[in-house]
Amino acid sequence: MSHKTVGVMPGSDRAYDIIIGVDVLADAGRIIAHTLRAQKYCVVTDSHVAALPHILKLTKSMETAGCSLTAPIVLPPGEATKDFYHLQYIIDQALERGLDRHAALIAFGGGVVGDITGFAASVLMRGVPFVQVPTTLLAQVDSAVGGKTAINTARGKNLVGSFYQPRSVLIDTQVLQTLPPREMRAGYAEVVKYALINRPSFFEWLDENVAALLAGDAVAQAEAIAISCTAKAEIVADDEREQKDIRALLNLGHTFAHALEKLGGFDGRLLHGEAVSIGLYWAAAFSAQQGLCPPGDVARIKAHLTAVGMMTSPPFTAAAGDILSAMQNDKKSVGGKMTLILMKGIGRAFVQPDVEGAAVLSFLKSMTECNT
C-alpha cells in the first residue's frame, strides 16, 4: 500500500507533511535526516513503547540514514507524566546528552509523549526542532498534528504549554497492531470527533467501516487517519493559535472530558479518549436538551459509540457540581463563563460562548443521577 501525504499549513514557513502508511518507520530515518539535517538526535519515548520492537526499527532506520543518535530518554507511561517534574527531566537529560540548538527531538509514543516532548522542544535552547512519530491511534489522528504542546497542573489539563509545530509527522499504521483494544477504542473517539464536527459523510463511512478499522484493516485505518488528519489540518491552517472560533471546534466534547479526567485523578480508570467519547455524547445530549440538536442524531451517536464498546458515562461516581466546577476551571473558560462546542446535528458543530452554568448543572445532574 502506498503512503498517503497530508500537508499542514502549505505555503507557511511552518508547513510540514504528515506521512501515513504501512511500514513508514522503515523510511523514517531518510525522511527525518532530509527534513531536519540536525547534528544530533534524541528519541523521547515511554517505558511501554521502549519495550516494543518498533523503537528498534526507528533507530535502525535513523542510523542507516546517518543520523547521530543519543541514548533515548524514557519516561513513565500515563497521563500523570505530563507535569513539570517530567518536563524538567526531559530538559536535564537532553542537556546531559549534549544536545544544543543544532539538535532535534523525536517524540516516539502516544499523546502524552508527543505533548510533553513538543513542549520541551519549544523551550530547550529557546526552541529546537522536533518530529512526531505517534504510536497510538489517538496521537496519530489528533495530538501529534497541529502544534499544541502542553503539560497538566493540579488545577487542570493542558494549562501550561505552547503552540509549536513539528517539522514532520510520521504515521506507521503497523504500530497499531501492538496497541491494546482499549487504547484503540480510546483513539477512535478522536476519529469520530472529526465526523461530528463537519463531516457527516465521514460518519456514514465510519458506521460501515469501524469494525474493520478496529480489527486492524490497514486500508481502513489509513483512510480514517488520512481523513482525520486532513480535517484537522484544514482547521489548523485557518486558525493556528485559536484566535478565531474555528480551531476551537476541535474541542468538541473536550470540556466535559477534561473535567472528568481531572476528577478521575489521571489514575488510569479513564483514558483521555474514553473521556472524549463521553464528552462527545454529552455535548450532543446537552445540545438536544437546549433544543439545538435533533434527538435522533443523539441516539445515532450513542448507538455508534456503544456498538464498539466505547464509554458514554464515567467509570466512577462524580457529582454534578464537581464536574461543573472542573469545567469552569478549564482553559477555554473566560471570566468564569464557559464556552462549549455544541451541535446542531451530526457534522454541524459550532462554538457557543457564555453558556449558563445553571443549564449545564441541570444537565449534568440528569446524566449523573441516571448514569446514562
Residue 331 designated active-site: no
What gap in Å lies between CA 77 and CA 47, rounded to an integer?
Answer: 6
Catalytic choice (57, 148, 167, 199): 148
> Among residues 251, 261, 274, 304, which one is catalytic?
251
| Annotated catalytic residue 304 | no
Q: Exactly one of 82, 86, 185, 232 is catalytic; name it.
A: 232
Calculate the alpha carbon distances from 67 to 11, 60, 118, 133, 293 in Å. 28, 10, 20, 16, 52
Set of cell numbers at residue 313: 458515562
**Catalytic hit among 183, 190, 223, 240:** 190
Beta 103-109 vs 130-134: how paired, if at all?
parallel
**Cα→Cα distances 29→24, 69, 348, Å:** 10, 11, 40
Q: Name the catalytic one among 258, 261, 262, 274.
A: 258
The C-alpha atoms of residue 102 and residue 260 are separated, in whole angstroms, by 41
Q: Which residue in the list 240, 272, 274, 304 is annotated as catalytic? A: 272
148 tagged catalytic: yes
Tell me which of 126, 208, 369, 371 is the catalytic residue.
126
Please say if 209 is a catalytic residue.
Answer: no
- Residue 34: active-site member: no
Q: Any catalytic annotation for residue 60?
A: no
* Residue 240 annotated to the active site: no
Task: Check 79, 223, 240, 242 and give the catalytic one.
Answer: 242
Catalytic-role residue among 86, 193, 254, 262: 254
Say which of 193, 247, 262, 304 is annotated catalytic. Answer: 247
Contacts of residue 362, Cβ cutoff 8 Å, sequence gap at least 6: none
251 is catalytic: yes
Residue in this structure with the C-alpha cell 443521577, named with its chain if needed? 369
Catalytic residue at 102? no
Q: Grid coordinates in use for 319?
A: 457529582
- Phi then psi for residue 115, to 5 deg, are -65, -50
Q: Is 190 a catalytic residue?
A: yes
Tell me the backbone φ, ψ of residue 52, rounded to 5 degrees.
-95, 160
- Write out the catalytic residue numbers: 126, 148, 190, 232, 242, 247, 251, 254, 258, 272
